[in-house]
Structure 1
Amino acid sequence: MSAPQDKASGKLWDGALDAQYAFGDLDGHRPALQAVHDAVDDGTAYRAELSARVAEPVLSDDPILHHDPQLPDAWWQELTGTLEKVSTVSTDRVAVRQQYMDRAIPQFVGVPAPAVTCWTTAHADVHWANLTKPLRLLDWEGWGRAPEGFDAATLYAYTRLQPDTAARVRAVFPILGSPAGLAAEATMCAQLLQTVTRHDNLALEDQLRTWAEELRHRCRGR
């Protein structure tokens, strides 16, 4: 990584290093950070990070799932267990801000931001290009506090083109569809609909708009 020297700090700059201190290798499910080297040259800061090599390919070259990954029950159990361990770690890092939710959910989902019943720690980027089989969870730069169920909502969002796998995500993460998960789902839906306005994730657009309609119905029915 590189950045102007006076801006070489913050959540993304320190994410991998903070994750190593907070989580270690998560029982082998997170590539351990083995070394960090910092340098400054002519006002620019540089950071090189060396992590344990992951031999397994990611489950998808795209964050969006376009095929059935055919994952065994044990893989899903490891995923839910790993994310549960992540959720219990105490941190002052922030992945999702209340101010963003208050602004983006009304704009992109069309309802006031649902109240967050519980804030937990999240990886905050759980999609199919960050997962392997056997389970490794990659890319820890953005982790921090988020509404409970945010990682489940993220994976579900990127799975909606594959109904069978999406149903499996909902089954293993029962917070999805529950009142406690509404804030996380609305936040994730808003985030991705915002990316659609920038011409990203266009393959998900129809599914995201359907999801937003489902969320509006759930909010009205509370």
Structure 2
Amino acid sequence: MPPAVPRPRLRERRTWTDGEHGYLAELYDKITDPTITTHEPILRKAPDLEDAWWDELSTTLDTISTVPSSRVAVRQEYLDRAMPQYLGIPIDTKAPAWTTAHGDLHWANLTGPTLTVLDWEGWGIAPAGYDTALLYSYSLLVPDAAAEVRRRLGHILDTPAGRFAELVVIAELLQTVTRGDNLELKGALRARLACLTER
């Protein structure tokens, strides 16, 4: 990632094998600012974040999206299978565009009041707008915060690619609901799905 992306600095990396298994360990700088949420990605109260924090997040997402990568965060094969199954509607599963994404952008991976983006093992190519759609979806239980995400990052969400990315994320999260995770989000995700598919 470019140096402009606010992330912990990698200090050391080691790989090793034990029989048929390979392992990787990485040591990063310690981050002293707290994450916006602790222990879970779902937002439960509106964060008090300065304009500069939001501006830096927007710039960071734009920067990440331009990084060339052969890594893959979301596969087309997954979209082909999961979107019709978990959205429950016939849908064109071809993304309007693909860009590089963090791949797990939620409130427990963002710090404040100084922005640092944590947890980078899943980054790679994803449908354009994926990171922002994920952050927005994890904000749905706090309508004021969800509205703030849309206000600050509307240049990403309020596009055909952004709307498609929301559908991708809704399918993913509804799949997690079937496994017993993110149960509180189910109603909000269904409501957002209805809104998106009425267009």
Which of the five TM-score ranges fits, normalised by the shorter chain? over 0.9
Q: Name the CA shift for 1:43/1:120 in 2 (closer, same or farther; >3 Å).
A: closer
8 Å contact from structure 1 (residues 63, 158) kept in 2: yes
In structure 2, what is the equivalent of residue 71 of structure 1? Answer: 49
Question: 1:111: which partner in 2?
Answer: 90
User: Percentage identity across aligned positions?
Assistant: 49
* Cα distance, 1:38–1:180 mapped onto 2, change above 3 Å: closer
AA paired with 1:119?
A: W
Contact 1:114 / 1:182 at 8 angstroms: preserved in 2? no
CA–CA separation in structure 2 for the residues paired with 1:160 and 1:86? 24
* Pairing partner for 1:147 from 127, 142, 151: 127
- Tell me if the contact between 1:126 and 1:154 (Cα under 8 Å) persists in the aligned partners: yes
SS of equivalent to 2:67 = coil
Q: How many residues align?
A: 195
Give the match for residue 165 of structure 1: 145
Q: Of 84, 105, 109, which residue of structure 2 is paired with 1:126? A: 105
The counterpart of 1:215, out of the listed 191, 196, 199, is 196
Q: Structure 2: how far apart are the matches of 1:115 and 1:136?
A: 32
Secondary structure of the 1:173 match is helix
Q: Distance in 2 between matches of 1:40 and 1:93?
A: 22
AA matched with 2:180: H
Coordinate RMSD, CA, aligned: 1.5
**Residue identity opposite 1:210 in structure 2:** A
Aligned position for 1:14 = none
Unmatched segments (≥5 aa) in structure 1 = 1-22
State the TM-score, normalized to the length of structure 2: 0.92
Tell me the distance in 1 between the aligned counterparts of 2:160 and 2:5.
33
Which structure would you say has the larger Rg?
1
CA contact (8 A) 1:58 1:129 kept: yes
Gaps of at least 5 residues in structure 2 are: none
The 8 Å contact of residues 65 and 158 in structure 1, kept in 2 or not, is answered as yes
Return the letter of the residue paired with 1:132: T
C-alpha displacement of 1:195: 0.2
Contact 1:102–1:112, Cα closer than 8 Å, also in 2: no
Q: Which AA in structure 2 matches 1:208? A: L
- What one-letter code is carried by the residue in structure 2 that aligns with 1:216? T
Comparing 43-52 and 70-79, the one that deviates more: 43-52
Contact 1:111 1:216 in 2 (8 A): no
Offset of 1:114 from its aligned partner? 4.6
Amino acid of the structure 2 residue aligned with 1:179:
P
